[in-house]
């Protein structure tokens, strides 16, 4: 669980509800099934038009990925690579026995390619291709959330127009109930659209893009590690080269 995402949403909702409560104890006036239906239903309809159905159906998985925390530390990734390089210098058989201890499936595949006798060029090309297409898939998820963030306020405005039509029709009929319902719908749909966009979907798109960058840094590091293992570089050289990918505060030194 990504605690930062959860805390951000809780703080945002707390600030909104708390501010409303300070103005009025009647929180129920901000609940509207019709307004929610216009904004959320219209937004889903729009992304269904904009994106392939298979991507829209993966929306739940994409949202789960936002809340999924990452325990990966760049320093630990370097340690894992250096350990593998130490074993690999002893021989291919030793690396093959060690491969089950490698936690990252991406780096494990790279080490397996070394064991299987792939050339340096083949190994590099395959791993970089995997990074490229993973980024494309994950950027589609980020684009989906960004579109939802853009479309939510737009559908809020659609609801506002509907509410205004209802309200104006009440002038002709002289019905105060119609006027109140129309004005309420006009304002609440805009409110819902702004909250959905600025508290949920646009921040989620940015979160996914941050994750893409972090994961690509890790995998580029692991490609370089696999290349160095293929070249049978000394573990000290491996660590020094891989330290280039991580913040200096996470650097470690090997002795001897």
Is residue 44 domain-resident? yes
Is residue 135 domain-resident? yes
Cβ neighbours of residue 5 closer than 8 Å, sequence gap 6 or more: 66, 67, 204, 207
- Give the range of the structural domain holding residue 10, as residue numbers without chain letter: 1-30
The pair phi, psi for residue 39, each rounded to 5°, is -70, -55
Question: How far is 42 from 48, CA to CA, in rounded Å?
Answer: 10
Is residue 186 domain-resident? yes
Is residue 152 domain-resident? yes
Tell me what pLDDT residue 256 has.
47
**CA separation, residue 56 to residues 5, 44, 207, 246 (Å):** 22, 8, 18, 35
Same domain (yes/no): 120, 231: yes
Q: Which residue has the tokens 């509907």?
A: 162
Per-residue tokens: 226: 């696999």
Same domain (yes/no): 72, 17: no
CB atoms closer than 10 angstroms to residue 97? 12
Same domain (yes/no): 45, 96: yes
Per-residue tokens: 49: 């038009």
Same domain (yes/no): 13, 71: no
Taking only the tens of pLDDT, the chain with its 256 residues reads 678 888 999 999 999 999 888 888 777 778 888 889 999 999 999 999 999 988 888 888 888 878 886 777 888 899 999 999 999 999 989 999 999 999 999 999 999 999 999 999 999 999 999 999 999 999 998 999 999 999 999 999 998 888 888 777 766 555 556 666 667 777 888 999 999 999 999 999 999 999 999 999 999 999 999 999 999 999 999 999 999 988 887 777 654 4
Same domain (yes/no): 53, 97: yes
Is residue 214 domain-resident? yes
Same domain (yes/no): 18, 127: no
Question: How far is 113 from 123, CA to CA, in rounded Å?
Answer: 7
Question: How far is 164 from 128, CA to CA, in rounded Å?
Answer: 54
CB atoms closer than 10 angstroms to residue 78? 23
Same domain (yes/no): 197, 228: yes
Instruction: Check residue 24 and give left, alpha or beta (phi > 0: left; psi -120 to 50: alpha).
Output: beta
Same domain (yes/no): 18, 98: no
Same domain (yes/no): 42, 115: yes
Same domain (yes/no): 25, 38: no
Tell me what pLDDT residue 175 has.
56
Is residue 256 domain-resident? no
Handedness of CA 76, 77, 78, 82 (dihedral sign): positive
Same domain (yes/no): 206, 238: yes
CA torsion 4→68→243→128, rounded to 10°?
A: -140
Question: How far is 251 from 242, CA to CA, in rounded Å?
Answer: 9
**CA separation, residue 105 to residues 30, 125, 210, 212 (Å):** 48, 17, 21, 17
**CA separation, residue 51 to residues 54, 55, 129 (Å):** 8, 6, 24
Is residue 255 domain-resident? no
Tell me what pLDDT residue 32 has.
84
- DSSP H/E element including 24: none
Number of domain units in the chain = 2
Same domain (yes/no): 26, 14: yes
Is residue 158 domain-resident? yes
- 230 in Cβ contact with 120 (< 8 Å): yes
Q: Global pTM?
A: 0.82
Q: Which residue has the tokens 């020094």?
A: 240
Q: Counting Cβ atoms within 10 Å, is residue 151 exposed (0-12), middle (13-18) or buried (19+)? A: buried
């Amino acid at each position: 669980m990504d605690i930062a995402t959860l805390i951000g949403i809780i703080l945002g909702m707390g600030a909104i509800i708390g501010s409303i409560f300070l103005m009025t104890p009647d929180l129920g006036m901000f609940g509207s099934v019709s307004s929610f239906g216009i904004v959320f239903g219209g937004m889903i309809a729009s992304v269904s038009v904009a994106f392939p159905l298979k991507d829209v159906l993966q929306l739940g998985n994409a949202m789960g990925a936002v809340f999924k925390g990452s325990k990966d530390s760049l320093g630990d990734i370097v340690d894992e690579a250096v350990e593998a390089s130490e074993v690999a210098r002893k021989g291919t058989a030793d690396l093959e026995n060690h491969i089950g201890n490698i936690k990252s499936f991406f780096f494990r595949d790279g080490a397996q390619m070394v064991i299987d006798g792939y050339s340096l060029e083949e190994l590099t090309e395959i791993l970089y291709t995997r990074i490229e297409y993973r980024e494309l898939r994950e950027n589609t998820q980020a684009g989906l959330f960004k579109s939802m963030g853009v479309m939510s306020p737009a559908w809020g405005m659609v609801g506002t127009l509907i509410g205004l039509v209802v309200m104006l029709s009440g002038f002709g009929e002289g019905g105060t109930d119609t006027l109140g319902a129309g004005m309420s719908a006009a304002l609440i749909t805009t409110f819902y659209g702004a909250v959905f966009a600025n508290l949920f979907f646009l921040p989620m798109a940015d979160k996914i893009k941050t994750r893409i960058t972090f994961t690509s840094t890790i995998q580029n590091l692991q490609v370089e590690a696999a290349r160095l293992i293929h070249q049978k570089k000394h573990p000290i050289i491996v660590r020094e080269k891989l330290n280039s990918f991580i913040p200096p505060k996470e650097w470690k030194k090997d002795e001897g």
